[in-house]
């Protein structure tokens, strides 16, 4: 058996790589050109047409492996020693696979032939093999380089993998992920290939080459015009949705609900049809478009997922697939062989909306869009939904539900499916693939993280770890405001003691410890409330994570009751300076709670922190306006979903006050990119602290003047670079960065090494003083989060160079 248990951090064996095609004709070998050379003429489209993989019956590359003749030569040779060489080999494999058999290439393009399907699969396998080789060798940094190819409108997927300065495969040979590698879609089929058809921006040459003349309007436009066209389409959708919502409200139907769906669907359709235009649009105004592709719209989208017709969106793996998950993963990998981060959900805790089962796929899809908006190559991100049943009756009984109609699996079968999925993903993409967990149930979140970490799988849970980093960043921003005491002098009351708030509490304690506060004293400053009430030492139902923060019950406070109604009493008893909500109880911070909080402040000039982290908007503990009104204008506010700015009478000289959006989107793209760039084998506390400090460092004086304690989400791309650099450096300090070998995922290792060697020794808060980065194998001097010098600049430059900029 080729998959047994989770592999250790080693490159997959060559055995896993499908054999390369048999021969490359001379003309094909010449097809890999050097940058700057004229493009080699593409093969005549009609000479190598095969049925695109995407429309074939599902037969995995693994099956194709078995069908290959025994005489097929082995996979790309082990003597390939550089990213460029690997890329050349990849090109050769693809070219050979695409043109090796003249008798088949004479078939007309639109007539599927059964034996051609198997050839098609072999071509896909050949490229995937080369791609895996490339990943194993750590040469995938230039995977970010897809922009120019996208702009050219052709060959984006494969050409995107070329190291800078390396030869580029002619697009007609490589084809696109949408149609399968090696295929040459033409005419009607090319019209449906988003890597070729860029709408009116499709160049004359591409129209001629792919038989698109007459299939598109004659006018050829600049890509920027297509972005403007998309903006107009979204605006029209918003106007229509608002009018429909208003009409429903007038009819007494409540209105509002689902009003975001029309613009969401418009944008998602654009993402499938023209990825470059979609990301160019979103990147040019992140603040405007983020709410339409992420929270809160993505919540409405998940609720309505069964009627949205999204396709293709991500990989779906159900309990029924146990035993053959590798085949499913390979099916996907044939079209997206360069994924570096898999975003997995089991759909159990979708935002604050509960168990939505298979409809939770909307969340990884939304996260993938945010990664791209932040400049992380969207082709790096693989959204995955694990369908293990659903316990919400209304969802399962919906005739349009797309998942298994059965109660949620909680037994060993759940973990077997997780293990099999992770093994299959690592097998297809390499052991460096980062597993990003998203919106899993509270009971599974910590065990899943520990399970994968204990097996050496690079992983993080966004809701626990990225939320912790962004909330700590907001706290660091808040303490820069007058009237807010330093964190070590504050008392924190966390309303909700799940993944989000427990993660924040733990990281906050790490920050306090880094400031010299004794760990026990740091825990003393943190109080938790869960659905059973205040977490006190007289309770017998506490998990180990909560028990760490349990304290003696305050005198006069009755046991039980954690809901909004009792919260005011708890606030009065605990007297917190900061109230942080992540309990999914919309409106829990009502006037009584906010009044009690205001009264509890040490002085009339003290400013309480009110963080309403729950998503979507309907689950927020309070709005910005409610927080300001409920505390007489004193609250320093942050929320998971964006609220509009306010002008507050008699405060700030009439300037608008801007609420901070404490959403993990400010952290996870950089955290993911930093892990990939450094080949991190694990996410450490030091890396999370570094991420928090990097985000806090971007909060400007202007932001703070507006009382916004975090950088605006409009700076998502900048945040991603800064966080990635900080995370990569901290990974080196904590000795979890890879030297670019076995993990195969390191893309900025050289400048990271330079940063390490050019900086004075220090350590991230969790790394022992004097620790060596990259493990003993590399043996450089230790470095710190605040490393400076040419190496640091080079690292950031490298990360900036990797940013996905679709139209540049
Ligand atoms: P979770 O399910 O792990 O935890 C929820 C917690 O709230 C549990 O401790 C539960 O006991 C408590 N709770 C529920 N009802 C309560 C009540 N009536 N009174 C007191 N406590 C109650 O969920 P998780 O992952 O912690 O997420 C919670 C919320 O935070 C969700 O709305 C989620 O969307 C949001 N969130 C926001 C993020 C951001 O970036 N702003 C990131 C992660 C989560």
* Structural domain includes residue 696: no
CB distance 467 to ligand 1 below 6 Å: yes
CA distance 615 to 805: 29
One domain, residues 507 and 429: no
As separate numbers, helices (DSSP H) first and strands (DSSP E) second, the chain gives: 34, 14
Centre of ligand 1 to C-alpha 66, Å, is 48
CB distance 617 to ligand 1 below 6 Å: no
* Structural domain includes residue 743: no
One domain, residues 353 and 398: yes
Q: How far is CA 519 from CA 500, 523, 686, in A?
A: 20, 6, 16
- For the beta sheet containing 459-461, the strands, ordered from the edge strand earlier in sequence to the opposite edge, are 315-318, 381-387, 341-345, 434-437, 459-461
* Structural domain includes residue 257: no
Protein residue with least CA distance to atom 39, ligand 1? 663
CB distance 193 to ligand 1 below 6 Å: no
One domain, residues 582 and 642: yes
One domain, residues 453 and 480: no
CA dihedral 464, 467, 468, 469 (to 10 degrees): 130
pLDDT value for 758: 60
One domain, residues 532 and 638: yes
Reported as half-sphere exposure (CB side, CA atoms, 13 A), residue 116 has a value of: 28
The CATH code of the domain that includes 487 is 3.40.50.720
Indicate which residue of 264, 275, 289, 367 is catalytic. Answer: 367
* Structural domain includes residue 270: no
**276, 150 in Cβ contact below 8 A?**
yes
As for how many domains the chain has, the answer is 3
The CATH code of the domain that includes 447 is 3.40.50.10380
Q: Which of 162, 37, 50 is nearest to 108 (CA)?
A: 50
* Structural domain includes residue 668: no
pLDDT value for 77: 31
Which structural domain range is residue 178 located in? Answer: 53-78+115-220
One domain, residues 474 and 606: yes
CA dihedral 206, 209, 210, 216 (to 10 degrees): 50
Give the atom of ligand 1 at the shortest distance from the alpha carbon of 295: 34
Instruction: Encode 739-808 in three state secondary structure.
Output: CCCCCCCCCCHHHHHHHHHCCCCCCCCCCCCCCCCCHHHHCCCCCCCCCCCHHHHHHHHHHHHHCCCCCC
* Structural domain includes residue 156: yes
**Which one of 662, 678, 705 terminates a domain?**
662
* Structural domain includes residue 216: yes
One domain, residues 381 and 523: no
**Which one of 196, 220, 244 terminates a domain?**
220
Centre of ligand 1 to C-alpha 551, Å, is 21
Centre of ligand 1 to C-alpha 495, Å, is 8
One domain, residues 490 and 355: no
pLDDT averaged over consecutive 10-residue blocks of the chain (808 residues)? 34 31 32 31 31 30 31 32 34 32 30 38 47 40 28 32 29 34 80 90 96 96 96 96 82 60 95 94 97 94 90 90 98 94 98 96 97 96 98 97 97 97 97 97 94 97 98 98 97 97 98 97 97 94 95 84 73 97 96 97 96 95 97 96 87 82 98 95 97 98 96 97 96 86 56 66 41 29 37 82 89
One domain, residues 629 and 485: yes
One domain, residues 576 and 446: no
Is there a catalytic annotation at residue 415? no
**429, 339 in Cβ contact below 8 A?**
yes
Q: What is the DSSP letter of 201?
A: G
* Structural domain includes residue 680: no
Is there a catalytic annotation at residue 210? no
pLDDT value for 257: 55
Q: What are 439's two structure tokens?
A: 């919106």
One domain, residues 69 and 173: yes
**Which one of 159, 187, 220 terminates a domain?**
220
One domain, residues 196 and 322: no
Q: What is the pTM of this model?
A: 0.78
Give the atom of ligand 1 at the shortest distance from the alpha carbon of 351: 34
């Amino acid at each position: 058996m080729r998959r047994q248990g989770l592999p250790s951090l080693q490159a997959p064996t060559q055995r896993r790589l499908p054999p390369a095609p048999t021969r490359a004709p001379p003309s094909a070998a010449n097809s890999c050109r050097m940058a700057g050379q004229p493009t080699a003429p593409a093969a005549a489209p009609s000479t190598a047409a095969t049925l695109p993989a995407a429309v074939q019956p599902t037969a995995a590359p693994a099956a194709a492996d078995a069908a290959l003749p025994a005489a097929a030569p082995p996979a790309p040779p082990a003597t390939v020693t550089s990213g460029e060489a690997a890329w050349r080999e990849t090109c050769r494999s693809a070219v050979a696979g695409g043109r090796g058999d003249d008798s088949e290439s004479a078939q007309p393009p639109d007539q599927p032939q059964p034996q051609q399907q198997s050839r098609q699969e072999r071509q896909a396998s050949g490229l995937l093999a080369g791609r895996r080789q490339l990943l194993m060798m750590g040469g995938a940094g230039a995977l970010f380089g897809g922009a120019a190819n996208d702009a050219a409108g052709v060959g984006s997927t494969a050409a995107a993998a070329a190291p800078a300065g390396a030869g580029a495969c002619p697009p007609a040979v490589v084809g696109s992920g949408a149609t399968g590698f090696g295929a040459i879609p033409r005419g009607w089929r090319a019209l449906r290939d988003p890597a070729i058809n860029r709408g009116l921006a499709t160049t004359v040459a591409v129209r001629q080459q792919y038989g698109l003349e007459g299939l598109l309007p004659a006018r050829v436009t600049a890509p920027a015009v297509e972005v403007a066209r998309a903006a107009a389409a979204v605006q029209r959708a918003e106007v229509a949705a608002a009018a429909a919502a208003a009409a429903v409200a007038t009819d007494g139907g409540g209105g509002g609900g689902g009003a975001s769906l029309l613009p969401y669907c418009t944008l998602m359709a654009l993402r499938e049809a023209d990825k470059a235009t979609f990301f160019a649009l979103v990147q040019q105004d992140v603040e405007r478009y983020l709410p339409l592709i992420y929270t809160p719209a993505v919540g409405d989208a998940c609720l309505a997922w069964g009627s949205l017709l999204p396709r293709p969106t991500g990989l779906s793996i159900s309990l029924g697939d146990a035993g053959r998950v590798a085949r499913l993963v390979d099916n996907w990998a044939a079209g997206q062989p360069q994924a570096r981060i898999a975003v997995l959900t089991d759909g159990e805790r979708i935002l604050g909306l509960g168990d939505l089962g298979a409809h939770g796929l909307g969340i990884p899809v939304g996260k993938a869009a945010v990664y791209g908006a932040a400049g992380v190559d969207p082709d790096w991100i693989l959204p995955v939904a694990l369908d293990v049943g659903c316990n919400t009756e209304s969802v399962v009984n919906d005739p349009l539900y797309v998942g298994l109609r059965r109660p949620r699996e909680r037994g060993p079968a759940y973990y077997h499916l997780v293990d099999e999925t992770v093994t299959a993903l690592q097998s297809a993409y390499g052991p460096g693939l980062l597993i990003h967990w998203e919106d899993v149930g509270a009971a599974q979140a910590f065990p899943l993280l520990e399970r994968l970490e204990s097996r050496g799988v690079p992983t993080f849970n966004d809701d626990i770890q990225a939320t912790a980093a962004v909330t700590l960043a907001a706290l660091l921003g808040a303490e820069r405001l007058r009237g807010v005491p330093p964190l070590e002098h504050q008392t924190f009351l966390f309303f909700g003691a799940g993944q989000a708030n427990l993660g924040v509490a733990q990281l906050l304690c790490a920050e306090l410890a880094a400031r010299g506060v004794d760990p026990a004293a740091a825990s003393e400053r943190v109080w938790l409330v869960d659905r059973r009430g205040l977490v006190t030492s007289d309770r017998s139902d506490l998990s180990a994570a909560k028990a760490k923060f349990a304290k003696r019950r305050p005198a006069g406070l009755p046991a039980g009751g954690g809901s909004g109604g009792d919260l005011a009493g708890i606030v009065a008893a605990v007297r917190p300076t900061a109230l942080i909500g992540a309990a999914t109880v919309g409106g829990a911070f009502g006037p009584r709670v906010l009044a009690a909080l205001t009264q509890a402040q040490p002085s009339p000039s003290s400013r309480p922190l009110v963080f309403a982290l729950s998503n979507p908007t309907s689950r927020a503990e309070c709005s910005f306006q409610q927080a300001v009104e409920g505390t007489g204008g004193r609250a320093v506010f942050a929320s998971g979903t964006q609220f509009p700015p306010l002008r507050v009478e008699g405060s700030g000289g009439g300037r608008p006050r801007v609420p901070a959006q404490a959403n993990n989107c400010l952290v996870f793209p950089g955290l993911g990119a930093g892990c990939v760039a450094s080949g991190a084998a694990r996410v450490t506390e030091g890396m999370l602290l570094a991420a928090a400090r990097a985000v806090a460092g971007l909060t400007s004086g202007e932001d703070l003047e507006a009382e916004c304690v975090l950088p605006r989400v409009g700076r998502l791309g900048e945040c991603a670079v800064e966080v990635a650099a900080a995370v990569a450096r901290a990974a080196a300090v904590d000795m979890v960065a890879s030297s670019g070998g076995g993990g195969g995922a390191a893309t900025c290792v050289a400048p990271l090494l330079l940063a390490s060697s050019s900086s004075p020794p220090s350590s991230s808060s969790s790394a022992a003083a004097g620790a060596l980065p990259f493990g003993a194998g590399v043996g450089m001097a230790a470095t710190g989060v605040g490393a400076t010098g040419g190496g640091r600049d080079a690292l950031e430059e490298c990360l900036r160079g990797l940013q996905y900029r679709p139209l540049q």
